[in-house]
Every structure is written in C-alpha cells, then in structure tokens.
Amino acid sequence: MAEEILKVEHLNKFYGDWQALHDINFDLQKGEVVTLLGPSGSGKSTLIRTLNGLEPFKDGNIYFKGEKVEPTPKEWQKLRQQIGMVFQSYDLFPNLTVLDNILLAPTKVQKRDREEVKKEAMALLERVDLADQANSYPRQLSGGQKQRIAIVRALAMHPELMLFDEVTASLDPEMVRGVLEIIKELADRDHMTMIIVTHEMNFAAQIADRVLFLEDGKLLEDTPGKQFFEHPQTARAAEFLSSMEF
Amino acid sequence: MDWTIIQQSLPNFVQGFKLTLWLSLVGIVGSIIVGIITSLVQYFRVPVLKQILNVYVEVARNTPLLIQLFFLYYAFPVMGIKMTAETCGIIGLIFLGGAYMAEGFTGGFNGVSQNQLDAGEALGMNQFQLARYVVLPQGLSLSVPALAANIIFLIKETSIFSVIAIPELTNTALDLIGMYYRSNEYLFVLVVAYAIILIPVILLLDWLERRVRYGAFGN
C-alpha cells in the first residue's frame, strides 16, 4: 500500500469574517501528482500556502506522513524542510549568486556539508541546463531561468513533497515550456509527490493523477485526472473547463 | 578679508577640525549600532523591549539636540552623574542619531518584500536565520540612502556641541570671534572646514549607494 504523505481534514480558514476555505478534506499518497484547479479567487493559492504554514488556519487538521501537524512556528520550520515550495514570482534572493541561493538553506538550515551540497546543486543545475549560470546573479537571468533555479533551490532540500503555486503565471509564453518540462520530468522520473496550482490546462491534463477543483473556497471535485478532463462530475467544473478552451 | 588673521588662526582650527572629525566618527558608529539593534527589536516585535525602544525613538526624535545636551550637561550633575563635556556630547549625539538611524533601518527592513520572507520561510528558516540571511542583507542595502542622509545630518549636528564648550570647529570659531572680533575671516574658515569634511563624505556615500543598489533589481 502506498504511503500517505498528506491528509487534510475539515480545514477552515477565515480572513476576518470572510471564510476563505470551507471544510476542505483530501489526502495525498506518495508519488501522486495533484493539480489544484479553479477560477481566480477560488482559494487555490490560499490552500496551497496553508499546507506549509505560510497561511495560518482556524480549525481542522493537517497530517504530514501520518503525524498530526501542531501549527506552531517551530513545528512548521521543521516540516518546511521536507516540503519544497515554488512561487509565481520566483523569489530568488537578489543579493546571492545562483549557487549561493541553492546552498543557503541546505547548509544553514539543514547544516549539511557545503561541498556535498555543492556537488548535488551542480548536478541539479546541469539537469535544468543552467550549470553555466551558477555564478550569475538573479538579475542577470530571464524569468524562465529564475524559475528553474527556484525549483532547484527547493529540490536541494530533499523534499518529500513539492508545492507549485502558479509557477508559470508570470512567464513569457516561450519560457513556460521549459519550466513545465522540468516538473513533468520530476513526476515521471523521480516520482516526486506534488501539488500544483496552475492555469495551464493541457499541462494539468497530462500530469495530474488527480484534480482538486475549488470554487469559492469549497472543494467541489476530487476526481482522477483523466476523468476530470473528459467527464467532470459537476456542472461548474464543466463550465470552467469550457471557458478555458479557445 | 585679512589672510594673516586666517593664517594665525589655523592651528586652532586644526585642533577643532580633528575634534569634530573624532566626535562625528564616534557618534555615527554609535548611532548605527544603536539604530540597527533598535530597529531589529522593532521589526521582530520583541515584547516589552519594543515598547521601551518605541518610547526612546519618539523622545529622541521629538526633542532638540540642544535641549538633550543641556539636560546631560547641567541636569545630570544635579542628580549626581558628572561627565565631561565631550562624553555628554557623544552620548547626546548617539541618543539622537540612534533614533534617526533606527527609523532609516526600519524603512529598509520594511522594504524587504513579503515574497522574500515567504521564500525564506518556505525553506525552513527560523526567525534568526530569516533576519541574518534575508532581512539584514537586503534591508541594509535599502537603508543606505537614509543612512547617508543621517550621517551628513549628524556631522553637521556636532556644531551644537559649541554650547557646552566642546572646542570643536564651531566653538573654535565663536571663541576666536569673541576674542578678536574678526567674524568674516573666522566664519570663512569655519565654512571651508565643514566643506572639507562633508564633500568627501558625500562623494563616498554616493558611491556606496550606487554599489549596493542590487536590492532594487529583479529577484
């Protein structure tokens, strides 16, 4: 039986009086790729940010590898070392070179040996075709390059789970493909467990083992990927899919 | 303008010049240290200490240095604390400058975007690591313009030390004018002396500002 990486139970989140997430329930097995779809403002980003504690939640439970998460800063700091996250705006550290961006957390947070991490970082950079940029600064790179580096920076921590929050949304169209190919390869070759928020429907259809469809903070569907794109269960999801076609 | 008068006064002015430089240097270094500590405490909302330092910043920024110096120089001895005029001057300057520097650094630290903090947190950093590797390097480079303005302000502010008889540049000039009634000459030397200190400082700070501007570029 597959190992359970994540389980979310009755998760509710409020911004003041406004409820952003309503009673969210789902689980995630090791090696599974789940895409989080839904219209703007449906709570996709809020949900994915809640899963590594960047957003606090009011009630409900999150279990990581079978253990209940105590939502304290200390506990999250520990867990985040196993949950990699990549953001829409890359957010590399502008004062550090590409290599130092990658080495910072493994050496300072995980206290791993610098030389060992460096070897690994160079191998990862090689894999995303950016080994020649190891000593560049983020400002010298294109958006697509920066996002590939951000993925490498997260992978260097040896995460058990990767979260991707609209990672291609601010890229020029011709840069999108390179980033998506890397994520696809992570799924196919490394069997990385991933949750992906995206608006790239073709990509989602290709990569998703399961689709979670959100609207107004409610989880309307939790459907196997192929089935979601061919026969969505809810009318709302069908409407959403047809609105994305062009 | 009588050049021999100027020439004869030069040794006095050199003494004052050295003292102004020394007091400025100590005052600026002290202010930067107090300022960084104060603004870090405020930034990370350290309980109690933060409230105390908030009061300090407001008191220091909303009272004139002149009054702060009078207080240190005339009121403290009444309470049994006696200090030399120079010590009073340096303490006063750091008291004032620390508050201004704290505001400048706070501006820089607040300029570090929430996205950068999220990125650091998502990598598992704790508060200390976040401060050390994200907030400080980026925030300090963003504070350089404010830092530069404060440094120049503090150097000029040393002229107020003349009122508690510290023989720095302004006090030297006022003394000489009092003795020899040659305001034109002595004020001329005074202005030139401040320019000799400030112009290189301004050029240096401009250069520094250009050097550290990476914070403003893409990430």
* pLDDT value at B195 more than 90: yes
Model pLDDT, residue B120: 97
Model pLDDT, residue B212: 80
pLDDT tens figures, B15-60:
999 999 999 999 999 999 999 999 999 998 999 999 999 999 999 9
Question: Is A194 within 8 Å of A186 (Cβ atoms)?
Answer: yes
SS3 B8: helix
SS3 A185: helix
- Token duo for residue A220: 């309307």
Task: Catalogue all structural domains in chain B, each as residue range(s) with its CATH number.
Answer: 3-216 (1.10.3720.10)
Question: Is A12 within 8 Å of A21 (Cβ atoms)?
Answer: yes
Other Cβ atoms less than 10 A from the Cβ of A77: the count is 19
Model pLDDT, residue A26: 97
Residues in chain A: 246
Contacts of A80 in chain B (CB under 8 A): 121-124
Query: What is the nearest CA distance from B218 to chain A, expressed in angstroms?
Result: 5
Model pLDDT, residue A245: 76
Question: Is A130 within 8 Å of A145 (Cβ atoms)?
Answer: yes
As for the ipTM of the complex, it is 0.92
- A25: contact with B, CB 8 A cutoff: no
- Token duo for residue B84: 């030399």
Q: Where are any strands of DSSP class E within A48-149?
A: 59-64, 67-68, 83-86
* pLDDT value at B98 more than 80: yes
Contacts of B215 in chain A (CB under 8 A): 94-95
Contacts of B125 in chain A (CB under 8 A): 77, 105, 108-109
Can you list the pairs that B66-74 forms with residues at least 24 positions away whose Cβ atoms lie under 8 Å? Answer: B66/B160, B66/B163, B68/B92, B68/B95, B68/B96, B69/B160, B69/B161, B69/B163, B69/B164, B70/B163, B70/B164, B73/B164
Query: What is the nearest CA distance from B200 to chain A, expressed in angstroms?
Result: 27
**Interface contact flag, B123 A87, Cβ < 8 Å:** no
d(CA B50, CA A118): 40
Model pLDDT, residue B1: 84
Model pLDDT, residue A205: 94
Task: Compute the C-alpha angle A22/A23/A24, nearest 5°.
Answer: 100
* pLDDT value at B11 more than 60: yes
- B214: contact with A, CB 8 A cutoff: yes
Contacts of A90 in chain B (CB under 8 A): 219
Encoded amino acid at A190, one letter: D
Nearest CB neighbour to B124, from listed A77, A87, A146: A77
Q: Closest residue of B to A80, CA-based?
A: B124
Q: pLDDT truncated to tens, each residue of chain A (246 aa)?
A: 579 999 999 999 999 999 999 999 999 999 999 999 999 999 999 999 999 999 998 899 999 999 999 999 999 999 999 999 999 999 999 999 999 999 999 999 999 999 999 999 999 999 999 999 999 999 999 999 999 999 999 999 999 999 999 999 999 999 999 999 999 999 999 999 999 999 999 999 999 999 999 999 999 999 999 999 999 999 999 999 999 876
Nearest CB neighbour to B123, from listed A90, A139, A157: A157
Nearest CB neighbour to B119, from listed A74, A91, A108: A91
Question: Is A209 within 8 Å of A34 (Cβ atoms)?
Answer: yes
Confidence of residue B214 (pLDDT cuts 50, 70, 90): low
What CA–CA distances, in Å, run from A224 to A21, A184, A195, A240? 22, 17, 14, 17
* pLDDT value at B123 more than 60: yes
Model pLDDT, residue A58: 80
What CA–CA distances, in Å, run from B133 to A22, A96, A104, B44? 36, 10, 8, 15
* pLDDT value at B194 more than 70: yes
